[in-house]
Amino acid sequence: MSIAARIHSSATPALRVLNLAGVEYSVHEFDHDPAVRRYGPEAVEQLGTDSARVFKTLMILVDAEPVIALVPVSGQLDLKALAGVLGGKKAHLAGIAETERRTGYVAGGVSPFGQRNASPVVLDRTAQDFSTVFVSAGRRGMEIEIRPDDLVMLTNARIGKIANLD
């Protein structure tokens, strides 16, 4: 697919980054239910895919420094493991307001691409089990399907075992 064909009418910063990079990806949109507060499971259901392929984007503070953790919706982030991957001691989830301020995205629509302030990214190693994975496109109800290698390349992500799978 050509880059021009992939430019979406309501391009988010994430989509602009992908278009400039020239990597292959697909955009999947669905009608987000405003009453839903568990965005990952909603995306899994609406996409009709395996929850291990859909990755949630979490802002974590490791030794007070912001880090983006990408873990499958089918699991939970292991804060201690994340801190260990980065050589840190303590990790905790950043608050919604801080996440939105630092990334420029709303909760439930935080993409690992095109954030207002770039932070180190750690991707759970299970992403490598799939030819493509899904991450937020920067808006609730919009997901990007992308090859894990391209995700790693564009975010300069480290890969580690940071999720406890359900």
Domain count, the chain: 1
* Rounded distance between C-alpha atoms, residue 153 and residue 23, angstroms: 10
Cross-strand bridge partners of residue 164: 76
pTM (predicted TM-score): 0.91
Q: Which domain holds residue 150?
A: 3-165
pLDDT tens readout for residues 52-104? 999 999 999 999 999 999 999 999 999 999 999 999 999 999 999 999 999 99
| Contact in structure between 89 and 79 (CB atoms under 8 Å) | no
* Rounded distance between C-alpha atoms, residue 118 and residue 105, angstroms: 12
pLDDT tens readout for residues 89-147? 999 999 999 999 999 999 889 999 999 999 999 999 999 999 999 999 999 899 999 99
| Contact in structure between 12 and 138 (CB atoms under 8 Å) | yes
CATH number of domain containing 121: 3.90.960.10
> In the prediction, which pLDDT does 10 show?
60
- From the centroid of its chain, how far is CA 71? 8
Neighbours of 41 (CB within 10 A): 14
* Rounded distance between C-alpha atoms, residue 154 and residue 152, angstroms: 6
* Rounded distance between C-alpha atoms, residue 64 and residue 129, angstroms: 31
